[in-house]
Structure 1
Amino acid sequence: MQKGSCLCGSVAFTINGELSPPSACHCGQCRRQSGHYWASTATHQDNLTLNSSEPLGWFQASDTARRGFCKACGSFLFWQHKDEDTISVSMGALDQPTQLKLARHIFVADKGDYYDITDELPQRAQ
């Protein structure tokens, strides 16, 4: 079981189930919402239980996906594709130790011009 929450603790959750190897997303939307690239893991949506969620808000970021955030502190917590039964969860929101390691970079064609990706992890343009 993995636990997590937003910065202020108003949105808390547990995950009972498998987590995917984390990705670092460099797309423009993730960079704007998180302030840099966004690292996340994914799980089946049925594995996620919201323990407290009153201030959880959802932003329809595109025709295909929505982003979950805490309306109290602004923490960007979740990303969910409308046609999938998985949900991406912010690595920064998870309690440590996570026992997970970053596995890949995605949307590197959109990465910011102010940094370089210098590790040896696989990179996908989209």
Structure 2
Amino acid sequence: MSKTKTGQCMCGAVTFTVANAPASFGACHCETCRRWTGSALMGFNVPETDITWKGEAHIKTLQSSDWAERAWCQRCGSSLYYRMTVDGPMAGSVQISLGLLDDLSGMTFDHELFVDCQPDAISYAGEGRDVMTRAEVFEKYGSGDDL
């Protein structure tokens, strides 16, 4: 059974609906995600085709690397998504910032990326998550710097 999730930026200028939302989410500890969000990026991946946006005129994007862009609300600055812009295993998917969701019920924290870049001061409780180092992420998904 697929789950529909809704969300919005802080000011409400950008809203979205995700069809077939996953039951899990993860964290990325790369330097770019930490600088973009102020900590690890907590998010979930969905195909672009499963997202319906409203208020797209308020979405601003930045090509943050040779292979990906990041987006935010230009009114309030909320981090909206990370999207691959080149072909590869993640092409056609968008990573939505978890904090934008109206309801996180039913979701579980199941993976962490760039764990070798994770600051000592940041640690999440619980066990059983899949973890990948920088080298493992690049081996699985390609690229050469922070995703």
User: Would you say same fold, with TM above 0.5?
Assistant: yes
Q: Does 1:107 align with 2:114?
A: yes
1:20 Cα deviation from its structure 2 partner: 6.0
Q: TM-score, normalised by structure 2?
A: 0.79
Unaligned runs of at least 5 residues, structure 1:
none
Q: Does 1:23 align with 2:26?
A: yes
Pick from 95, 98, 102 the counterpart of residue 88 of structure 1.
95
Q: Structure 2 CA distance, aligned partners of 1:81 and 1:20?
A: 21
Q: TM-score, normalised by structure 1?
A: 0.92
Q: Structure 1 or 2: larger helix share?
A: 2
Unaligned runs of at least 5 residues, structure 2:
135-147
Q: Is the contact made by 2:23 and 2:106 (CA closer than 8 Å) also made in structure 1?
A: no
Q: Structure 2 CA distance, aligned partners of 1:85 and 1:5?
A: 21
SS in 2 for 1:109: helix
Aligned partner of 1:124: which letter?
M
Report percent identity of matched pairs. 28
The 5-angstrom pairing of residues 11-90 of structure 1 reads 11-19=14-22, 21-82=24-85, 83=87, 84-90=91-97
The alignment covers a number of residue pairs equal to 126
> Which stretches of structure 1, 4 residues or more, deviate above 6 A after TM superposition?
none
Residue by residue over 1:49-88, the C-alpha shift from the partner in whole angstroms, topping out at 9 and shown as x without a partner, is: 1122221000111001100101111111101011201111
* Structure with max Cα Rg: 2
